[in-house]
A = this chain, B = another copy of it.
Amino acid sequence: MIIDCHGHYTTAPGALQSFRDAQLSALKGAAAALIDDPRISDDEIRDSLEKAQLKLQRERGTDLTIFSPRASAMGHHLGGEATSVRWTRLCNNLIHRVCGLYPRNFVGVCQLPQSPGVAAARSAAELERCIRELGFIGCNLNPDPSGGYWNSPPLTDRHWYPLYEKMVELDVPAMVHVSASCNPNFHATGAHYLNADTTAFMQFLTSDLFKDFPTLRFIIPHGGGAVPFHWGRFRGLAQDLKRPPLEELLLKNVYFDTCVYHLPGIELLCKVIPLDNILFGSEMVGAVRGVDPRSGHYYDDTKRYVDALPLGDAERERLYWLNARRVYPRLDARLAAVGLLKSA
């Protein structure tokens, strides 16, 4: 089985964006609360997926996608807490409907109702609702709700601890994932995303967060940003800072996906990062949508790069799905419920 740990609902029916546009316009005028929820039929949901994510799953030979709302649309910097809470619930509920319609293809991960200056504790209720009521298995955590001005506390600050306590209680991981950038310095998918990945890793490296939360787990997407390319730098920085070796310091808690869109990058990732810390992912349909004229294949068809690696069968199984089951323990029950795994 091949589990793609990183997919967003980037193709949601237009009514969702129409609602969002109306909600954000209303911030400046009439009350946003008066705007109706978007009406989206099951057929519209099916249509939005059949020609995109489901088609690509079939073509590429992947099975299940761990699926969350569109990251760039989370827009935690837009409006205040009430705006974010309503938008987040709508987006998560839509993911729940997707997973209900295609339970063998998608399992849910939620967006959180973060908002600049608002306590992280206030995201815990939505996390609990999504896990306990909607059957989700994890969340996306935005380390920069400002959208590119980085004025929240680092992920290792006690600000975030109430949310981490809930994550630990529910035994779910978070993918560290920023949203759109409103800072003209940062292109979202070309700079802000990768910078956030690198930033989060270095925050973890310099703190004792995982002493306080030994079972807390994070996935750093986009192959870990700049981290594997500079693995020697990070090993050396840890050493200079008198920190323990990286394996001991954070590799029981921090994982990387394979969203790196060329073979040399995937080769490097799998050479320097222990295989148990790598989860297969593609982020399709996402940041890069074209076909590479050099290969004739989609840039984001990361399965082709992984298949090209000289891995043994057992190693490939870990990377393709066994690691995901370890990092997302609630996955097994979802797989068992739809017959993809024998129940224990």
The size of the chain A interface, using a CB distance under 8 A, is: 60
Which among B184, B195, B206, B287 is the interface contact of A187 at CB below 8 angstroms?
B206
* A25 vs chain B, min Cβ distance (A): 27
- Cβ of A223 and Cβ of B232 under 8 Å apart? no
- Type the 1/0 row for A221-234, where 1 means its CB is closer than 8 Å to any CB of B: 01101101111111
- Cβ of B271 and Cβ of A264 under 8 Å apart? yes
Could you tell me which residues of chain A, from 111 to 166, have a CB within 8 Å of some CB in chain B? 143-144, 148-154, 157
- Type the 1/0 row for A280-296, where 1 means its CB is closer than 8 Å to any CB of B: 00000001111010000
- Cβ of B232 and Cβ of A261 under 8 Å apart? yes
A265 interfacial by beta-carbon distance below 8 Å: yes
A338 interfacial by beta-carbon distance below 8 Å: no
Could you tell me which residues of chain A, from 254 to 299, have a CB within 8 Å of some CB in chain B? 260-265, 267-268, 271-272, 287-290, 292, 299
* A223 vs chain B, min Cβ distance (A): 7
A265-B268 in contact given A202-B190, A232-B299, A233-B288 (Cβ < 8 Å): yes
A189 interfacial by beta-carbon distance below 8 Å: yes
In Å, the complex CA distance between A331 and B279 comes to 47
> Which of A183, A198, A223: most chain B Cβ within 10 A?
A198
Could you tell me which residues of chain A, from 68 to 95, have a CB within 8 Å of some CB in chain B? none
In Å, the complex CA distance between A203 and B232 comes to 27
- Cβ of A229 and Cβ of B232 under 8 Å apart? no
A230-B235 in contact given A150-B149, A190-B206, A264-B268 (Cβ < 8 Å): no
- Cβ of B288 and Cβ of A240 under 8 Å apart? yes
Which residues on A are within 8 Å of B, measured CB to CB? 143-144, 148-154, 157, 183-187, 189-191, 194-195, 198-199, 201-203, 205-206, 222-223, 225-226, 228-237, 239-240, 260-265, 267-268, 271-272, 287-290, 292, 299-300
